Amino acid sequence: MPLEIFVQVLLSGVLLGGIYALVAFGLSLVYGVAHILNIAHGTLLAVSGVVASLIYLATGWHPLLIIPLMVAPVFLFGYVFHALLLRPLAHRGKHDETIGTVLITTGALIMLSDLTGFAAGTTQRNIPVGSGVFEFGEVIVPTAQVWILAGILALTIVLQLYLKHAWFGRAVRAVTQDSLGATICGVNGPRARALTFAAGSGLVAVAGVLYAIVYPVDPYMGFSLTVRAFTIIVVGGIGNLPGAMIAGVMLGVAESFTAFLWAPKWAPALSVILLLVILVLFPRGFSSWKRA
């Protein structure tokens, strides 16, 4: 393989992996704090991307203006969804709660996909933002992709600092480590879980807009993105944002080279294969190997 082609595919994989990691951030926080397997997490990205593309088509606004418009309603949707449908399950047994959250979020996946497909159609859409290119010899990289990757890295750093130093971030980490102990120390556990679920939904809305700039979106692509996000948090560790970033980049690069060297249709299956291999070899993820 010529070096310039190798670098081109590698950069494409790094960008894809960065977006995957951004999707996994929200899912990792939700699962770590609220212990919810949100099967509809990737569908929120798909719906957000479709809606953002429609807004761009109607108004021509820059995606930086569209992102706040998407984050606020999706954040509110996540909060209300958790308060009305998921929080009541906490009063049931652990087994019933787990099954109930899977069934409810799976139903949300189906309903959100069908409603969006009915309202906006099932045609793939994107946000065709025109931009210049960076040229490194024979390697050509669109500037939009560079800025997207830089924005994801900056957001990762900000989120990590927020979780470490802000009061709510420390409360989230406390609930993740010991819910009862956090409650004894004055943390409102149910409110922290609801806000974390809403924040995870808002993060995936950001990822939806960024994804639509680079790749086409449709209402029914969400489940495969959820599987990728689960793979990333298994590899990187629950609540570990730098680990999720590294795992996301690994998955994105692997998918890019699989699509280039073999066939694009096999790239989505890679995350499932990787997840099965990791669960067999490292049942507790790579973090257990690190502790050992």
The DSSP string of 21-51 is HHHHHHHHHHHHHH----TTHHHHHHHHHHH
pLDDT tens, position by position, 39-70 = 999 999 999 999 999 999 999 898 889 999 99
**Which residue shows structure tokens 């190798």?**
6
CA distance 94 to 33: 15
Phi, psi of 279 (to 5 degrees): -65, -30
The pLDDT score that the predictor gives to residue 208 is: 92
pLDDT, residue 284, reads 60
Closest residue by Cα to residue 223 from 135, 109, 72, 68: 109
Q: What is the pLDDT of residue 290?
A: 46
Phi-psi region of 121 (alpha: psi -120 to 50; beta: other; left: phi over 0): left
Instruction: For the chain, list residues with pLDDT below 70.
Output: 1, 239, 282-292
DSSP 121-188: -SS-B-------EEEETTEEEEHHHHHHHHHHHHHHHHHHHHHHHSHHHHHHHHHHH-HHHHHHTT--
The two tokens of residue 83 are 């308060």
Cβ atoms of 82 and 194 within 8 Å: the answer is: yes
Note the pLDDT tens digit of each residue in 198-212: 998 999 999 999 999
Per the DSSP assignment, residues forming a β-bridge with 141 are 134
Contact (CB, 8 A) for 223 and 109: yes
pLDDT of amino acid 265: 76
Structure token digits, residue 178: 């010991």
Q: Which structural domains are found in the chain, ordered by start? A: 3-291 (1.10.3470)
pLDDT of residue 1: 64
